[in-house]
Structure 1
Amino acid sequence: MSKQPLCSTEIGALWMTYQKKTVILRMIEYFRETAESTRARKLLDNMWKDLYPMVEELKHILQKEGAAVPIGFTEHDVNLNAPPLYINGFGVMFSRVLKEISMGMYTLHVTMTYRDDIIKYYRRLTQITHTYYYEFTTYLLEEGLLPRPTFINLPQSSAYITDKAYLKGTNILGHKRKLNTIEFGYLYHLIETNITGMQLISGFAQCADDSDLKRYFLKGQQLSKKMIAEATALLQAEDIQVPATPGGTVTNSTVSPFSEKLMTYCVYLLSNFGLGGQSFGAAFSLRNDLNATMSFLAKDVFEFARDGIHIMIANGWLEEPPSMDIHHLR
């Protein structure tokens, strides 16, 4: 029995995977060059060695099917001679965030695949992602660069919610109920990822030559600050102090390690990842004030992401996904 051709959703998933994977390879190449320790360099190098053959395999799959290979991001999008733009463990910190994005995207993409070899391809990519997310997390914890979330007293009983006031988050006296651990988890994750995102985009703004692009990155920096401030205020109102993240520092270098095309696409990718996280946060938070906060922040992130799309189109940086050119089988 001959192998079925790739269907439309598989082509779309593979196309998107190629874009993201080539971004990651270029960034890892730079972070590997500027790594501050032998252990960090080895971790980043090992991940590159595991991912590069997967990208080559993806190209081979598309070529074998007679499909055009996307342009993606090439060696022209990274400057390996640029001095360190980030220090204090940032390369591993951001690579950990990239693995978070990968986990979400592979889960989505595998639900869009039907051919056995493509399903197995995403299973292998997922295994690589889980491996390095664990390795990066372990490294950052052991180096004291990643704090653990707040500890609480262990629950001593189980119960059902019987009062709809639980959803309002307030009682008849106007006192807010305490956050539950699920709600806290989404707020904490929002703060943690936006701290790293703010550091990344601050470096981008510092070395961008184009004035419009610099303003766009600075706008993103302020948006990250706003999101961190909103989430922190919600926690501090309940006397919950968020542990500070000691890792990640932007140097005073103004030499860009990445092309403006790559930097803009990376910010676009992070914005969409943030939208997904906020959607989950709003969906699984039961307090109405948290739902409202997440919704307002999501609106700001969506508008910022759309601005990035306009910039990429204006500069000829946004590659067009394959269109639904339907082939009618006889």
Structure 2
Amino acid sequence: MEHKSNAKLTAPELAGLWGQFMNDTIAICFNKYALAIVEDPEIKSIYETALNLSQTHVKTIKEFFEQEKYPIPQGFTEQDVNLEASRLYTDTFFLNYIYVMTMHGLTGYGVALGVSARQDIRRYFSNCNIESIELYNTILDVMLSKGLYTRPPYINPPEIAGLAEKQNFLTGWFGDRRPLTSTEIGNINFNMIKTYLSKALTLGFSQVANTQEVREYFVRGTKISSKHTEVFSSVFSEDNLNFPISWDSMVTNSTNTPFSDKLMMYHIGFLTTSAVAYYGAALATSQRRDLAIHYTRLTAELMKYAEDGTNIMIKNGWMEKPPTADDRMALSKGKKK
């Protein structure tokens, strides 16, 4: 691949490439395991496409880094996956998993494109977006054809368009709460699906992790996810809205680990920090005070969980350092990090 720009990569461009490299090397491991386990031909075909995309992305990002003389991250390798491991998740879970992870990819590529200046980097992330859109549409079509997609709630149209006339539009804990807006419904449904994924992953990971500390961390994550989905579902129930079903039954009773503790910890860390960002976006567009308080409280809990996970990774030598600015204080003392 040719890169004709003489401009150096900016910090946001480096961040986008580095983050994608880490996530795509995880995806390669996960997709290979899925291909060794999945039996449904349509789901298997989706994973074959996803694996090919991730492998192509990693190759291209390595070329970008080599051009910049930037160290190529270690990421995750064949040492982090056991393709001989028994089935930890059902085929239905694997379809739901790739659905949610593709949504994460679409979000990430959009952000990376928006902060990139170099033409070759913009072209690369644009292509990633196009590929992900095509993959997403394929996944959703398969989910719909199999009856495995739970549509978000419907709302009936009002007789006329109107304005909010009373301050109780913002009411939360006290007074009569107004019904949820379509935006609030969309945010809750979106975050509930992602929380179901995190819960199913930590539930399975807690059965197969190699160390007691990591197992306990995943058990804690499962409890946090359970609490969050209970909060979301209670808000929906108050307005008699349907919500997605839990994915817990899609986890088998296997105790044979398919992934390294390092990979599982990083993967849950990514999903946790992503949830913080999604909760923040939901908070910004939720006008009911009770929802704002829910999101603020749940976000604080996730941030503490993410911090504790980072400490475990650092302690075990699993935390790969992302691109950072020069430490001018250290340089002034004749030290180079």
Calculate the TM-score normalised by the size of structure 2.
0.91
Are residues 246 and 210 of structure 1, via their aligned partners in 2, closer, same or farther at CA, if it must alter by over 3 Å?
closer
Rate the CA distance shift 1:326–1:123 in 2: closer, same or farther, 3 A: farther
CA gap of 1:131–1:309, structure 2 versus 1, over 3 A, is same
Distance 1:326 1:131 in 2: 42
RMSD: 1.9
SS in 2 for 1:120: helix
**1:112 CA drift (Å):** 2.3
Question: In the alignment, residue 7 of structure 1 is paired with which amino acid?
Answer: T
Q: Which one-letter code corresponds to 1:5 in the other structure?
A: K
Partners of 1:189 and 1:7 lie apart in 2 by: 32
1:98 pairs with 2:89:
no
The answer to whether structure 1 residue 55 and structure 2 residue 39 are counterparts is: no
For 1:282, the equivalent position in structure 2 comes to 283
List structure 1 segments (4+ residues) > 4 angstroms apart after TM superposition: 245-248
Aligned length: 325
Is 1:211 aligned with 2:212? yes
> Residue 251 of structure 1 aligns to which amino acid in structure 2?
T
User: Which residue does 1:12 correspond to in 2?
Assistant: 15
**Mapped pair 1:230 → 2:269:** no
Change (3 A) 1:67 1:88: closer
Please list every run of 5 or more consecutive structure 2 residues that lacks an aligned counterpart in the other structure: 329-337
1:70 equivalenced with 2:73 (yes/no): yes
Deviation per CA, 1:51-108, whole angstroms, max 9, x where unpaired? 3112101101111221111111111111111111000411121111111211222122
Cα separation, 2, equivalents of 1:57 and 1:237 = 49
Letter in 2 for 1:69: I
How many Å separate the matches in 1 of 2:11 and 2:58? Answer: 20
> SS at the partner of 1:89?
helix
Decide whether the 8 Å contact of 1:278 with 1:298 is kept in 2. Answer: yes
Identity of aligned residues (%): 27
Deviation, structure 1 residue 20: 1.2
Post-superposition Cα deviations, 1:271-318, rounded to whole Å, max 9, x if no partner, equal 011111111111101100110011101110111011110010000000
Residue 239 of structure 1 aligns with an amino acid whose one-letter code is: N
Higher alpha-carbon deviation: 182-191 or 260-269: 182-191
- Residue equivalent to 2:123: 120
**Cα distance in 1 between the residues matched to 2:327 and 2:125:** 25
**Amino acid of the residue matched to residue 87 of structure 1?**
T
Query: What is the letter of the counterpart of residue 72 of structure 1?
Result: G
**TM-score of the pair, normalised by structure 1:** 0.93
For the Cα contact (< 8 Å) 2:203–2:219, is it kept in 1? yes
- For 1:239 and 1:90, how far apart are their aligned partners in 2? 27
Cα distance in 1 between the residues matched to 2:62 and 2:244: 43
- Contact 2:269/2:310 (CA < 8 Å) preserved in 1? yes
Instruction: Give secondary structure in 2 for the equivalent of 1:147.
Output: coil
Q: Which residue of 1 aligns with 2:26?
A: 23
Amino acid at match of 1:74: T
Q: Counterparts of 2:320 and 2:118 in 1: how far apart (Å)? A: 26
Q: Cα deviation per residue 1:239-259 (whole Å; 9 max; x = unaligned)?
A: 223242579611111111111
The one-character-per-residue Cα deviations of 1:18-73 (angstroms, maximum 9, x if unpaired) are 11111111111111211120111111101211231121011011112211111111
Query: Aligned to 2:240, what secondary structure does the other structure show?
Result: coil
Alignment correspondent of 1:259: 260
For 2:274, the equivalent position in structure 1 comes to 273
Give distance in 1, aligned partners of 2:40 and 2:249.
Answer: 14
The residue that corresponds to 2:161 in the other structure is 158
Distance 1:90 1:248 in 2: 9
- For 1:320 and 1:313, how far apart are their aligned partners in 2? 10
Task: Mark the CA change 1:36 to 1:278 in structure 2 (over 3 Å): closer, same or farther.
Answer: same
Q: Is the 8 A contact 2:28 2:54 kept in 1?
A: yes
Partner of 1:111: 114
Higher mean alpha-carbon deviation, 228-237 vs 296-305, is at 228-237
Q: Could you tell me how far 1:183 is from its partner in structure 2?
A: 0.9
